[in-house]
């Protein structure tokens, strides 16, 4: 019987970049902030962490530093996704070697493989590295989605722990739950889907918003896990407009901007990501004021 990697709130951490590279001391402060805010797990080197523009050396060092500094206080999950299967395997092997608790593997973007290709892509890594894997389905980013039948096949592998579901396709989510049950744990991949997905059996969220407000997202998950969806919905409604504003431009532009506005050192953005437009900045500031963060 499988055990979920975590329950509750998992933060997809931003990477504090500067002109010289990565500010590892600020990364450590960000990890401490997450622990103090009640976060259960962190993802390092995910999309929110700008993994697409990290060198291999930066990727390896980020995972190593995160594991060492977290020191068992939270679950550490390393993003290993790639459209190059061999590269994903290499990153999984590194994550295992430095002591990460699990890996997060996105569908192969741009290649647009078939469902058979997806199965072989994920199994190629899962067969070769004994570490819990969370699949990541985000077709808006990658151009390809995972079917419920593919989930069912993958769920039979002992190293495939669950999925970060960011498709917002509740028919797919319902069918996946029916086909896989507890052979495949489910986590929301969107902050605005957390409450309904947890009502359908998800165990928490892999969150962008929790970079900014970790206690809020942790509390939201706690309420859902306890079955108090009335209180969870009330809390969500308070922050719904902010959660939406954090995706007003491509992630992680808004969340890094919001953190900076609130006095947190989020570092710079790395090209091709650029500063937020003035129009969107005004909207974001308004949403931060509404929940007394500014």
- Report the DSSP beta bridge partners of residue 12: 43
What are the tokens at 240? 């719904």
Structure confidence at residue 1 (pLDDT): 87
Among candidate residues 7, 35, 109, 136, the one labeled active-site is: 136
Is there a contact between 194 and 220 (Cβ–Cβ < 8 Å)? yes
What are the tokens at 274? 């650029």
Structure confidence at residue 80 (pLDDT): 98
As a whole number of angstroms, the distance between CA 254 and CA 251 comes to 6
CATH superfamily of 8-226: Aldolase class I (3.20.20.70)
Kindly give the confidence (pLDDT) of every residue in the chain, 294 residues in length, as a single tens digit, with 9 standing for 90 and above.
899 999 999 999 999 999 999 999 999 999 999 999 999 999 999 999 999 999 999 999 999 999 999 999 999 999 999 999 999 999 999 999 999 999 999 999 999 999 999 999 999 999 999 999 999 999 999 999 999 999 999 999 999 999 999 999 999 999 999 999 999 999 999 999 999 999 999 999 999 999 999 999 999 999 999 999 999 999 999 999 999 999 999 999 999 999 999 999 999 999 999 999 999 999 999 999 999 999
* DSSP code string of 6-33: --EEEEE----EETTEE-HHHHHHHHHH
Among candidate residues 24, 33, 116, 164, the one labeled active-site is: 164
As a whole number of angstroms, the distance between CA 274 and CA 270 comes to 7
Cα 231 off chain centre by = 24
Is there a contact between 74 and 34 (Cβ–Cβ < 8 Å)? yes
As a whole number of angstroms, the distance between CA 22 and CA 19 comes to 8
- Name the H helices within 138-226: 139-142, 148-154, 170-180, 194-199, 214-225
Give me the residue spans of the domains in the chain. 8-226
Considering just the CA atoms, what is the radius of gyration of the chain in Å? 18
24 in catalytic set: no
35 in catalytic set: no
């Amino acid at each position: 019987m499988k055990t979920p990697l975590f329950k509750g709130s998992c933060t997809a951490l931003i990477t504090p970049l500067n002109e010289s590279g990565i500010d590892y001391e600020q990364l450590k402060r960000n990890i401490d902030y997450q622990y103090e805010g009640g976060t259960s797990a962190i993802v390092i080197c995910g999309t929110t962490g700008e993994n697409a523009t990290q060198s291999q050396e930066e990727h390896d060092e980020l995972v190593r530093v995160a594991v060492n500094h977290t020191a068992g206080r939270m679950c550490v999950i390393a993003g290993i996704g790639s459209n190059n299967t061999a590269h994903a395997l290499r990153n999984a092997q590194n994550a295992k070697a430095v002591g990460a608790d699990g890996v997060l593997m996105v569908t192969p973007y741009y290649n647009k493989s078939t469902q058979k290709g997806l199965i072989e892509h994920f199994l190629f890594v899962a067969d070769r590295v004994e570490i819990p894997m969370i699949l990541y389905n985000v077709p808006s980013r990658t151009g390809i989605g995972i079917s419920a039948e593919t989930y069912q096949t993958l769920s039979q592998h002992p190293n495939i722990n669950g999925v970060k579901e960011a498709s917002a396709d509740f028919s797919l989510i319902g069918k996946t739950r029916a086909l896989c049950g507890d052979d495949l744990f489910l986590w929301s991949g969107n902050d605005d889907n957390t409450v309904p997905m947890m009502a359908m059996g998800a165990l928490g969220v892999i969150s962008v918003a929790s970079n900014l407000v970790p206690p809020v997202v942790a509390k939201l998950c706690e309420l859902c896990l306890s079955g108090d969806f009335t209180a969870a919905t009330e809390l969500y409604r308070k922050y719904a407009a902010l959660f939406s504003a954090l995706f007003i431009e491509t992630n992680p532009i808004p969340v890094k901007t919001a953190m900076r506005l609130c006095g947190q050192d989020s570092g710079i953005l790395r090209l091709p990501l650029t500063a937020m437009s003035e129009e969107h900045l005004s909207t974001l500031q308004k949403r931060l004021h509404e929940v007394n963060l500014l």
